[in-house]
Amino acid sequence: METSEEIKAVVKEKYARIAEQPKEQNQASCCGEGSCCSIDYAVFAENYAKLKGYTPEADLGLGCGLPTEFAQIRTGDTVIDLGSGAGNDVFVARTLVGETGKVIGVDMTEAMIEKARANNDHLGFNNVEFRLGDIEHMPITSNKADVVISNCVLNLVPDKTKAFREIFRILKPGGHFSISDVVLQGELPPALRRPAELYAGCVSGAMPKADYLDIIQRTGFQNIAVVQEKTVRVPDDILLAYITPDELREFKASGTQILSITVYGRKHESTCCSGGSSC
């Protein structure tokens, strides 16, 4: 996995397989493929059952937070969900925007788009749309969204700077985002940074928390805040598939943590600025 395109191909292949399986199978197996090759997504997943608009058929158990809980979505808003999967967060957001709003899900995996559209056909919403597209080059016009949400997806994007610039571009002046993602406190051992399975499993693609927040700030966002944070504990047996027992002990002693965070950021009101520039 040397190039961005190779990384995207791996992620796309893994999530196409996951799209064909129920939530229970994804959480019971590693990387959703029935053999312990990667992360068990249950270590990340949040319970959506309490949320209004929750649709079990759209929940594949792949998230690491509840971004809609912190997104300050209002009736009539246009919301864009990045890496929308089978539509889980889209349908929750749709309940919040009501009949007068609109929710657009963007995903690069054809099988996920098909599954999400089938779920929406069953629900019958006419203000929900799913678009096939790359987060680094979104099929969304500029200044479109009041709110952007995303759940455990940007860690899978090779160029995170480009992704946040795209988020800045599609937000209206004064719009904001609420993004749940996986980051690091410290550094992973080299053996945990290389495997394709760990990248698709949301671990090796995670970057240090400070660097992640720095990208957001340099893009031009304001009022940046980590509104929720929790430690993710990956079982030893999964880590031992890639590192030795001695390396595992060193990793634990290093104090490195894998974190699930939800971040809020706002685009300034002025229209004379672009991402990362000042007026």
Domain that residue 68 falls in: 4-241+259-266
Residue 273 forms part of a structural domain: no
Residue 277 forms part of a structural domain: no
pLDDT tens-digit series, residues 60-103 = 888 889 999 999 999 999 999 999 999 999 999 999 999 999 99
Tokens found for residue 189? 């051992």
Residue 251 forms part of a structural domain: no
Closest CA to 130 of 150, 110, 100, 152: 110
Residue 90 forms part of a structural domain: yes
Kindly list the strands in the beta sheet with 222-232, ordered across the sheet, starting from the edge strand earlier in the chain: 128-132, 102-107, 78-82, 145-151, 171-185, 257-266, 222-232
Provide the residue type at 33 as one letter.
E
25 confidence band (pLDDT: 50, 70, 90)? low
CA atoms within 13 Å, Cβ hemisphere of 39: 26
How far is residue 54's CA from residue 117's CA, in Å, rounded to a whole number? 16
Number of other residues whose CB lies within 10 A of the CB of residue 50: 9
Structural domain total, the chain? 1
| Single pTM value for the model | 0.88
Residue 195's pLDDT is 61
List helix spans (H) across the chain: 4-19, 23-28, 88-97, 110-123, 160-170, 190-193, 196-200, 209-219, 236-239, 245-254
Residue 272 forms part of a structural domain: no
Residue 254 forms part of a structural domain: no
Number of other residues whose CB lies within 10 A of the CB of residue 49: 8
How far is residue 38's CA from residue 199's CA, in Å, rounded to a whole number? 9
Residue 276 forms part of a structural domain: no
CATH code at position 90? 3.40.50.150
Residue 253 forms part of a structural domain: no
pLDDT tens-digit series, residues 99-147 = 999 999 999 999 999 999 999 999 999 999 999 999 999 999 999 999 9
